[in-house]
């Protein structure tokens, strides 16, 4: 059965999932890269960069889980790029170059329509103007028997959780305080939404916490 997951979502001790002032030079915002110090050294990440080295261990196990088994992805507009408002042209094709790391249909939430973009490696970007329910319906159809990943940004993840669409959440809590940025937990009552911790692993670089809802607690899809 297809599940909807937030996986490998890095967050600071003070609850920020991205820094302020996202830009072309700082796609994760100011100090946002500090949230991913658990991820960057892993074999999984290094293989995404075309390398054959990298660390194994618990961080790598969670990194691999954060990318494997997904048949479709959903991203917020800010995760796709720094452009705001209507598309000035169709030149921007994402942060990742010609071969993005998704290798599956990827649905971008936006208010501004744009034709799909077929990239190398099996990724096709689809631009969805009908909101999170339309995006999820299309992602489920595209995923087949595989899972759907809600892959950032912060506001997008928060919307899907609040709407009761997310079955499982993996948070990688980095041992840093950003002080300011995009807050993940604002307006979320995870206890009232009936999430329970089902896995907890601490490493030198992050505390990995997996929360899940039982089948009877999930909203109809």
pLDDT attached to residue 25: 85
Question: What is the pLDDT, as a whole number, of residue 217?
Answer: 52
The domains of the chain are located at 4-87+97-217
What letter would DSSP give residue 32? G
Residue 78, Cα to own-chain centre: how many angstroms? 12
Q: How far apart are CA 46 and CA 220, in angstroms?
A: 38
The SS3 call for residue 23 is coil
Please tell me the class of the 4-87+97-217 domain: alpha beta
Residue in the structure block whose two tokens are 């993005």: 100
Helices (H), 148-206: 154-162
Start-to-end Cα distance in the chain: 12
For residue 220, the model assigns a pLDDT of 44
Q: Token pair 């999430």 is at which residue?
A: 195
pLDDT attached to residue 125? 97
User: Cα(157)–Cα(135) distance, rounded to whole angstroms?
Assistant: 13
CA dihedral 46, 160, 147, 97 (to 10 degrees): -40
The model carries a pTM of 0.92
- Residue by residue, pLDDT tens for the chain (221 residues) are 899 999 999 999 999 999 998 888 888 899 999 999 999 999 999 998 889 999 999 999 999 999 999 999 999 998 998 888 999 988 999 989 999 999 999 999 999 999 999 999 999 999 999 999 999 999 999 999 999 999 989 999 999 999 999 999 999 999 999 999 999 999 999 999 999 999 999 999 999 999 999 655 554 44
- DSSP label at residue 185: S
The pLDDT of residue 221 is 44
CA 103 to chain centre: 14
Count of CB atoms situated within 10 Å of the CB of 15: 17
User: By C-alpha distance, which of 38, 96, 107, 39 is closest to 72?
Assistant: 107
Is residue 126 helix, strand or coil? Answer: strand
R_g over Cα of the chain: 17
């Amino acid at each position: 059965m297809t599940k909807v997951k937030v996986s490998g979502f890095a967050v600071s001790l003070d609850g920020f999932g991205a820094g302020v002032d996202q830009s072309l030079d700082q796609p994760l915002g100011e100090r946002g890269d500090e949230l991913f110090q658990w991820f960057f050294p892993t074999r999984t990440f290094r293989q995404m960069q075309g390398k054959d080295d990298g660390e194994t261990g618990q961080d790598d196990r969670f990194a691999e889980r954060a990318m494997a088994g997904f048949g479709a992805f959903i991203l917020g507009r800010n995760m796709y790029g720094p452009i705001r408002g209507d598309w000035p042209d169709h030149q921007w094709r994402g942060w990742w170059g010609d071969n993005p790391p998704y290798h599956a249909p990827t649905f971008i939430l936006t208010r501004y329509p744009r034709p799909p973009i077929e990239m190398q490696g099996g990724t096709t970007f689809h631009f969805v103007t009908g909101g999170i329910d339309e995006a999820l319906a299309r992602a489920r159809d595209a995923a087949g028997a595989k899972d759907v990943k809600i892959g950032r940004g912060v506001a997008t993840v928060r919307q899907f959780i609040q709407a009761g669409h997310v079955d499982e959440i993996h948070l990688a809590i980095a041992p840093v305080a950003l002080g300011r940025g995009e807050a993940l937990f604002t307006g979320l009552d995870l206890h009232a939404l009936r999430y329970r911790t089902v896995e907890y692993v601490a490493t030198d670089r992050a505390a990995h916490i997996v929360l899940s809802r039982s089948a009877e607690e999930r909203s109809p899809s």
